[in-house]
Structure 1
Amino acid sequence: MTSSAALSHNKTTSPWIMLMALTTAFGLSQSFRTIAAIMAPPLQKEFGLSAQALGLFAGSFHFAFGALQLFMGIGIDLYGVRRTVLTAFPLAMVGALVAAMSHSFLPLVLGQVLIGIGCAPAFLVCTVFIARQFAGERFASVSGTALGIGSAGLLLTGTPLAWLIEQQSWRAGFLALGAMSALAWLAIFFLVHEPKAPTSPDGAPPLPRLSVLAALRSYGELFRLPHTIGIVALASVTYASFLSLRGLWLGPLLIERHGLSLVQSGNVALALSVVGMFGAPLFGRIDPGPAKRRRWIIGFTLLTAAIFAAMAFNLGVTFDVCASVLVGVVSGYIVLEYPDVKAAYPASMTGRAMAVFTMAMFLGVAVMQWLTGLVASAAAARGIDTFLAVLMTISMMLLLGAAAFKWLPQPPTPNATGPAPR
């Protein structure tokens, strides 16, 4: 197919098909960010990693991913969804190759950092695309659907990755994900096109294009709004709690605490991932609206904190397996944070707000994984149950996030008087 023919074909592609193509990159980013839960035992064996080093390995992806969100947001505003993701995503393939070829800890972490940079725009492009191509009242439901479909990437790092590692090696896992990333890049290249003048389906006019420096300065406006801190505080712990369990501690918990095999723990990870695929679409469809949404978010955050606290006390393998799966279902409420952010800022700030929110989410994952690795090492040195310390730390961080979201300044109500921030 010639380039002109491809462009002509792309112009007729439906928004849903383009969104599904973009979601393939998001799905692979989900796979990359959760490999540590399955790769932890073989990596610890080959490199002699401590719990603290394992936390650094897992967290390095999210440090890179989160730190680049503001720049990816600028890239989307200046160059568009398609060009941004096509430019960045090849770094994920390079990072997978670097990690697969690593023979020491430093290049392994370097590979994770490159993968994190490559995956940085993966979900942000989906949320911006949804905001531009779908009606505002459908934002929560369509975002939930995209999250659910993208969560299929978690299935790969359950039983399939565990089987591949047992049959081949952890290096084969990185190579397989790198190859699938190349296929996702091709799908986006051929199926996604950039509208000439992206506008909201709600009729909002296109925003003027800013320079890079002006766009960076504009993020300061968000942090001058008092309600931003509470939103960021909660965002930094909700998804982080799910990813710290599913992406780092689930494998060690089941293998070291309960004696399960790598494939058995992979089966649990697979079950958690399957139910997680339905959680986000479910909560997206039952979104209670702005009047009750914040109460729901706080309530489900407290419920998740209670589940982690109960898991800390080793109530048996059956309880830990069921509680882990329950976390996968309940964590679907995180999708409600997206319409909450969208409603908390004027339309002119939506893109920047989403970038800051996404940055907070993934820097939060990095901090929680690093911190729980530090806690695990300190607990082991003092003869304290490692998983008691780790799970209680996650529970406490969720409680602090919920408290900040509840008690720090709230967004203005829709009928508030006074000029909206520009």
Structure 2
Amino acid sequence: MPSSSPASRAAWTMLLVLISGFALSQAFRTAAGIMAPPLQQAFGLTPQQLGLFAGAFHFAFGALQLFMGMGIDVYGVRRTVLAVFPLAIVGALVTASADSYAVLLLGQALTGIGCAPAFLVCTVFIARSFPAGRYASINGAALGIGSVGLLLTGTPLAWVIEAWGWRSGYVALASCAALAWLAILLLVREELPATAGGRPDVLGALRGYGELFRLPHTLGIIGLAVFTYASFISLRGLWLGPVLIDRYGFSLVETGNVAIAVSVLGMVGPPLFGRLDPGDRTRRRWIIGFTIACAVIFALMALRVPAAVEVGLSLAIGIVSGYMVMQYADVRAAYPSHMTGRAMAVFTMAMFLGVALMQWLTGLAASAATVLGVETYTAVFGAIAGFLLLGTALYRFLPGPRAVSAETAQSTP
């Protein structure tokens, strides 16, 4: 629970305002699912074009993470999000007014760029404004609260589309984003952390990425980040529906009900595991253990188990995946304060580019399964389990943060 001191109340107020931007980012990220049928009807889009339309957001979002981290370290949380988030509003309006597929892609790309700092600013603000020992629990709460945006693109957005059309859906999202931007402008204040060498300039921040990758534990952290969040999104956003419909004969409504349940558990998991965070001394062992547990669950899903068991395993992934919030705390503890923004940016970039990579690789696994005579979802979920074990091995056997020297921790970017 937040402290009752005025400083703590102010910090929580500003964090909740920043989370409103993250919630809109979550909504924009998942809007393509509910928008797909009307867009396909309006523009005659093929499934491949719909996939590229949805992916344009994630590629733009992931590719800009390094620059967002640099901006946060140089200019601060408030100025970075105020400068960039308006592109999300512009992108949504461009999409709403689109008269061609190319304009649809442009709108999605602009929205992805605009949303690029949305959660990153929350993680850095928490690191700078709250005690280090509470980082995991507060960050978990932020993830859970911000995931309300996933629910906005369910029934509420569908109702808007049915009543006024898909263009009105994007106008509604743009309006909400504008309100979030205005709230950040009016309510968020920030004092940049003091460092021994002063704030870095742009070139210094760019050189700081070289410093980041020279630290021996960075590769292990990235190696795991590529596969963990991607495993959850690959299930929830790509394979959950097909496996329930193709393997078990579920209807679309029944599949949607399971998807909602998985999403709700995905919202509950991060704050739960944030409160359970064991601290710096044993956190890495917990992360390894829960990643292996997720791999085991996916391995069981690869088997042709009864439908109720498959649903139960999917729900288990929804809740257990909340442990991934501990990875943010691991990053927070692994780098000196002047590198926090860039470290979080690299971590976030790895997660979202990992989503694209895993979805592509599991698609290849599904295609290969057809040729080899293996059941499609046995190959898909078996591949996800293998990727999680690979990430675990990289995280476990590559150097850990203890390799960071005091001299490195005190260096300037």
Q: Normalised by the shorter chain, which TM-score bucket?
A: 0.7 to 0.9
State whether residues 143 and 271 of structure 2, in contact with CA within 8 Å, keep that contact through their aligned partners in structure 1: yes
**Cα distance, 1:357 vs. partner?**
1.2
Q: Aligned to 2:28, what secondary structure does the other structure show?
A: helix
Q: 1:285 aligns with which of 267, 270, 275?
A: 275
The 5 A counterparts of 1:20-419 are: 20-39=16-35, 47-50=44-47, 55-102=51-98, 105-162=101-158, 171-195=167-191, 198-199=192-193, 205=195, 208-376=198-366, 385-412=375-402
**Cα distance, 1:39 vs. partner?**
4.6
Matched residue type, 2:73: D
Alignment size in residue pairs: 405
Q: Which residue of 2 aligns with 1:6?
A: none
State whether residues 58 and 248 of structure 1, in contact with CA within 8 Å, keep that contact through their aligned partners in structure 2: no
1:150-204 per-position Cα deviation (integer Å, ceiling 9, x unaligned): 1111222334445555666555543432332222222212221233xx33xxxx7
Find the aligned partners of 2:340 and 2:402 in 1 and give their Cα distance. 15
**Cα distance, 1:247 vs. partner?**
3.0
Q: Does 52-61 or 376-385 show the bigger shift? A: 376-385
Q: Which residue of 2 aligns with 1:4?
A: none
Q: Aligned to 1:291, what secondary structure does the other structure show?
A: coil
The yes-or-no answer on 1:18 pairing with 2:14 is: yes
State whether residues 346 and 420 of structure 1, in contact with CA within 8 Å, keep that contact through their aligned partners in structure 2: yes
Q: Which residue of 1 aligns with 2:3?
A: none
**Cα distance, 1:262 vs. partner?**
4.6
Find the aligned partners of 2:71 and 2:320 in 1 and give their Cα distance. 33
Unaligned regions of 5+ residues in structure 2, if any?
Answer: 1-6
Q: 1:53 to 1:241 in 2, by over 3 A?
A: farther
**Cα distance, 1:78 vs. partner?**
2.4
Q: 1:107 to 1:306 in 2, by over 3 A?
A: farther
Q: 1:160 to 1:379 in 2, by over 3 A?
A: farther
Q: Aligned to 2:198, what secondary structure does the other structure show?
A: coil
State whether residues 70 and 359 of structure 1, in contact with CA within 8 Å, keep that contact through their aligned partners in structure 2: yes
Q: Does 286-295 or 57-66 show the bigger shift? A: 57-66
State whether residues 379 and 385 of structure 1, in contact with CA within 8 Å, keep that contact through their aligned partners in structure 2: yes
**Cα distance, 1:334 vs. partner?**
0.6
Q: 1:382 to 1:33 in 2, by over 3 A?
A: farther
1:223-268 per-position Cα deviation (integer Å, ceiling 9, x unaligned): 1111110100101111111222223333444455555555544333
Unaligned regions of 5+ residues in structure 1, if any?
Answer: 1-10
State whether residues 158 and 269 of structure 1, in contact with CA within 8 Å, keep that contact through their aligned partners in structure 2: no
Find the aligned partners of 1:183 and 1:289 in 2 and give their Cα distance. 37
State whether residues 55 and 373 of structure 1, in contact with CA within 8 Å, keep that contact through their aligned partners in structure 2: no
Instruction: Give the TM-score, by structure 2 length.
Output: 0.86
Matched residue type, 1:390: V
**Cα distance, 1:383 vs. partner?**
7.1
Matched residue type, 1:284: G
**Cα distance, 1:278 vs. partner?**
1.8
1:263-316 per-position Cα deviation (integer Å, ceiling 9, x unaligned): 544333322222222211111111112222111111111111222233234534
Fraction of identical pairs, as percent: 63
Instruction: Give the TM-score, by structure 1 length.
Output: 0.84
Q: Does 316-325 or 329-338 show the bigger shift? A: 316-325
State whether residues 136 and 275 of structure 2, in contact with CA within 8 Å, keep that contact through their aligned partners in structure 1: yes
RMSD: 3.1
